[in-house]
């Protein structure tokens, strides 16, 4: 639940020129703090750099039906540090995105003046070159992406041992491995 709703409402009701920017925290092999502002800023004790690394942040589109669109983050493909990070593996690494506001070009950087819009993980990085630009498209996990996923979990003693070594939840089931038929929780 958002506790800064009143503050954000007052910011949005202003008569001044209103703008927005992104604050992105990437907890990959190293922690990266990036902003879409044309200059670096300090927020919550961390310096968010702006060196054209962050190109764009694209959230899921709003619709009245449940859609499974993912957040996408577009990063500069010419940044060698980010390129090496992606090459080392970033799938399932944490990503956090906050939305900040500017009034007459001045960023509002109070703790309650930003909106937390996303916390999740990297689902897939893709490299694309278009219009003479090299861009990393970092697709993050969609908030509702697992609603129609089919489980590939094998519920056997060996499969559980691979997932959680020392887990004994399937040991008793395997002891008496006679064929059993179960219908809606009742043994036939």
The closest of 58, 60, 41, 142 to 100, measured between CA atoms, is 41
Residue 42 has pLDDT above 90, yes or no: yes
Dihedral angle sign, alpha carbons of residues 108, 109, 111, 117 = positive
For residue range 58-116, list pLDDT tens digits in order. 765 554 445 556 788 888 888 888 888 888 889 889 999 999 999 999 999 998 899 98
Paired tokens of 95? 């990503």
Reported pTM: 0.68
User: So what's the pLDDT on residue 103?
Assistant: 93
157 SS3 class: helix
Q: Are 90 and 82 in contact (CB under 8 A)?
A: no
Instruction: Tell me how far apart the alpha carbons of residues 47 and 42 are, in angstroms, rounded to a whole number.
Output: 4
Comparing 178 with 7, the larger pLDDT belongs to 7
User: So what's the pLDDT on residue 1?
Assistant: 46
Domain boundaries, the chain: 5-140, 157-187
For residue range 148-179, list pLDDT tens digits in order. 455 555 566 666 666 667 777 666 665 556 66
For residue range 139-153, list pLDDT tens digits in order. 888 766 555 455 555
User: So what's the pLDDT on residue 62?
Assistant: 53
User: So what's the pLDDT on residue 140?
Assistant: 86
């Amino acid at each position: 639940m958002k506790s800064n709703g009143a503050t954000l409402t007052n910011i949005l009701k202003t008569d001044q020129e209103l703008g927005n920017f992104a604050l992105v925290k990437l907890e990959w092999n190293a922690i990266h703090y990036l902003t879409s502002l044309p200059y670096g800023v300090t927020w919550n004790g961390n310096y968010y750099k702006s060196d054209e690394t962050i190109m764009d942040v694209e959230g899921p589109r709003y619709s009245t039906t449940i859609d499974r669109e993912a957040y996408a983050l577009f990063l500069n493909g010419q940044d060698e540090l980010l390129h090496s990070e992606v090459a080392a593996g970033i799938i399932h690494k944490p990503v956090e995105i906050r939305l900040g506001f500017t009034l007459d070009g001045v960023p509002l950087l109070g703790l309650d003046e930003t909106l937390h819009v996303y916390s999740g993980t990297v689902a897939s990085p893709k490299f694309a070159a278009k219009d003479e630009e090299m861009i990393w498209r970092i697709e993050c996990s969609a908030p509702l992406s697992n609603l129609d996923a089919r489980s590939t979990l094998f519920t056997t003693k060996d499969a559980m041992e691979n997932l959680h070594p020392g887990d004994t939840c399937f040991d008793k089931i395997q002891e008496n491995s006679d064929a059993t038929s179960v219908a809606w929780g009742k043994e036939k």
